[in-house]
Amino acid sequence: MKTKTGRYSGYIRPLSRLTDLVIINVFVVWFSGIAIFEDSYPFFISCSWFIIASHLGFYKVYRYTKVIAILNCTLKQVVLFFISCLAIAYFYPERNNLNTILLSSVTAVFLILGFKLFVYFFLRKFRILFKGNSRKVVLVGKEKSILPLKHFFEENPDYGYKLIKVFDLEENKTDQLHLILSFIQKNRIDEIYCSLSDITSKQVDDFIFFANNNFKTLKFIPDEKQLFSLNIAFEYYDYIPIIPQRTISLDESLHKIAKRVFDIVFSILIIVGILSWLTPILAIIIKMDSRGPLFFVQKRNGLNNAEFECYKFRSMEINEQADTELVSKNDVRITKVGKFIRKTSIDELPQFFNVLLGDMSVVGPRPHMVSVTNAYAERIDKFMVRHFIKPGITGLAQTKGFRGEIETNSDIVNRVRYDIFYIEKWSLLLDLKIISSTIYTLLRGDDKAY
C-alpha cells in the first residue's frame, strides 16, 4: 500500500500524461502538415504511446527512482514508439515518410523526457527548500541492519523522507513494540521500515496487522537469504533493497483514471436507462406497501475507512435496529415488496448515485455498516485492508458465493481473502468479468439473496 499522497501530489502523473499527449499530437501535426482532426492517425499514435508506456512502466517514477532508470526506460520507449509509428503509418500512405516519422517521434520523446526530468528535479529541490511533498518515517531494527537506510534518509533530503525516530529492538521486545506503535500513531508517521532479521515472525504479523488497520505504509529491509530470492519484488532506495508489504494496482494513477471513467459511464447508463423510469414506479409501490421514505440511507465505511451515506431502496419496515443488526433469512422486518427487490438486488440500484458522486465504485469490496466494520476490524485479520480502495456495488467475493448474511467467521474470512486478491490484482477485464458474473447470478437466482 502507498501512503496517502499530499494535497497536490495526485495531480502530478495525470498532468504529466496530459502534457505528453499534447506534445505528441503537436509534433505529429507539425511535421506531417495535416490537421489533427482530419483523420484517425493522431489518435492511434497517442494510443500506441500510452500502451507502450503502460507496458514499460514509463510513468512509474517514484521519489527513490534513479535517473539512470528513467533514461533506460525512455530509450526503450523511443525505440518501440518509433516502430509502432512506422506500423501505423503503413495504413496512412500520405504519412508514410520515414524521415518525418523518425524526426517527429524522436523529437517528441526527447521533449517529453526533458519535461519529465524537469518535474523530477524540481520536486527534489522543492522538498529541500519548502519541506513539502515529504513522508515521515521510522526505522525498526538493530543498528547494523538499518544503518545504510538511516544514512540514505539523512543524506538525501531531496527524496522527501523525514526520519523521525530509530527503534532498536534489543530488550523487552514485546513491551517496546507497543511503545513503537503508540509513537507511530501519536506522531502521524507515514511509513514504517522494519529489518526482517531483527524481528520475530509474530512481530512481523503484528506490524502488518497494525499497518493494515491504520492505513500506514509498511516496508521491510531484507536479510541475506531474501536478497538472493528470485520470488521477491524489490524497490531500491539508491542501492538499498526494500521489500514493499503489498502492491495495490489501483495506486497507479492511470488505473485510477480508467476505473473512474468506467464507473462514471456505467453509472450514468444505469441511472438514465433504468433508474429514471424505475424510481417513480417503485416510489408508488413501496409507499403503498408500507409507511416510510422511498430510500434507506445508511452510514457505511468507504475508502480509507471514511464514512459515507449509502443509498438503497427501502426494503424493511422502519425500525431502530436497522443500523446495528444485519438482515437474516426470513427477517420479520422485511416488507412484502422488500422481499422481491432484495431477492433481485433492485434495492441496491440507488448506489449508482454513490458511484457517480465518487463514494463507491461499480466493482469493489462491499461496504459494511459502521457497527459491523468496527466489530470485524477487531476480530478478523486484515479486515481493514478492504478499505484501501473504494467499496463496490458488487465484488469478487460476492460472485464466489460470499454475499449476504455472515453466518460464520469463515464467511467473512473468505470475503476478505477475495477482496485482497481483487485489490492486488485489479484490472478492467476483471471488473467486466465480475459484472458479467453478477448479472448471470441475478438472472439464475441466488439462494443468499434475501
Give the domain range for residue 169. Answer: 135-247
Residue 5 has pLDDT above 50, yes or no: no
Q: Is residue 4 part of a domain?
A: no
Question: Which three-class secondary structure state does DSSP give residue 298?
Answer: strand
What's the pLDDT band for 4 if we cut at 50, 70, 90? Answer: very low
Give the pLDDT score at 216.
87
Residue 103 has pLDDT above 70, yes or no: yes
Higher pLDDT: 449 or 204? It is 204
Contacts of 366 (CB under 8 A, 6+ apart): 391, 392, 394, 395, 397, 398, 403, 415
Average pLDDT over every residue of 266-295: 92
* Pair 288, 323 in one domain: yes
Q: Is residue 449 part of a domain?
A: no
Q: What is the mean pLDDT of the chain?
A: 82
Q: Is residue 194 part of a domain?
A: yes
* Pair 123, 146 in one domain: no
Give the pLDDT score at 146.
85
Average pLDDT over every residue of 264-284: 93
Residue 198 has pLDDT above 50, yes or no: yes
DSSP letters, 249-266, are GGGSHHHHHHHHHHHHHH
Which CATH number do you get for residue 235? 3.40.50.2300
- pLDDT over 90 for what percent of the chain? 19
* Pair 343, 384 in one domain: yes
Higher pLDDT: 185 or 410? It is 185
Give the pLDDT score at 270.
94
The grid cell for 150 is 538511516
Q: Among 45, 52, 72, which residue's Cα sits nearest to residue 61?
A: 72
Rounded alpha-carbon distances, angstroms, from residue 406 to 7, 44, 91, 219, 386: 38, 49, 57, 33, 16
Burial grade of 280 (CB within 10 A; 0-12, 13-18, 19 or more): exposed
Highest mean pLDDT among 130-144, 147-161, 263-277: 263-277
* Pair 101, 165 in one domain: no
pLDDT tens digits for 22-54?
888 887 777 666 665 566 778 888 888 888 988
* Pair 126, 149 in one domain: no
Which residues on neighbouring strands pair with residue 67, listed in sequence order?
Answer: none
Query: Where a domain ends, among 130, 153, 176?
Result: 130
* Pair 342, 426 in one domain: yes
* Pair 222, 240 in one domain: yes
The grid cell for 200 is 520475530
Q: Parallel, antiparallel, or unpaired for β 217-221 and 240-244?
A: antiparallel
What's the pLDDT band for 192 if we cut at 50, 70, 90? Answer: very high
Give the pLDDT score at 231.
45
* Pair 15, 70 in one domain: yes
Q: Is residue 1 part of a domain?
A: no
pLDDT tens digits for 78-93?
888 888 888 888 777 7
Q: Are 418 and 395 in contact (CB under 8 A)?
A: yes
Residue identified by cell 521477491 is 232
Query: Where a domain ends, among 71, 96, 130?
Result: 130
* Pair 298, 238 in one domain: no
pLDDT tens digits for 213-234?
888 888 888 765 544 444 456 6
Give the pLDDT score at 360.
94
* Pair 167, 243 in one domain: yes
List b or e across 380-399, with b for residues whose CB sees 16 or more CB atoms inside 10 angstroms.
eebbbbbbbbbbbbbbbbbb
How many domains in the chain? 3
Give the pLDDT score at 448.
63
pLDDT tens digits for 299-312?
999 988 889 999 99
Q: Is residue 450 part of a domain?
A: no
* Pair 197, 117 in one domain: no
Q: Among 324, 421, 303, which residue's Cα sits nearest to residue 367?
A: 303
CA angle 286, 291, 293 (to 5 degrees): 65
Q: Is residue 2 part of a domain?
A: no
Q: Is residue 273 part of a domain?
A: yes
Question: Which three-class secondary structure state does DSSP give residue 243?
Answer: strand
Question: Which three-class secondary structure state does DSSP give residue 193?
Answer: strand
Average pLDDT over every residue of 398-422: 79
Average pLDDT over every residue of 267-293: 92
* Pair 121, 149 in one domain: no
Average pLDDT over every residue of 199-226: 80
Burial grade of 168 (CB within 10 A; 0-12, 13-18, 19 or more): middle
Q: Is residue 86 part of a domain?
A: yes
pLDDT tens digits for 323-349?
777 777 777 888 889 889 888 889 999
What's the pLDDT band for 245 if we cut at 50, 70, 90? Answer: low
Higher pLDDT: 445 or 284? It is 284
- CA 210/CA 197 separation, integer angstroms: 19
DSSP letters, 202-216, are HHHHHHHHHHHHHT-
Give the pLDDT score at 95.
65
Average pLDDT over every residue of 369-381: 80
Task: Compute the CA torsion angle 436, 439, 443, 444 (nearest 10 deg).
Answer: 60
Question: Which three-class secondary structure state does DSSP give residue 432?
Answer: helix
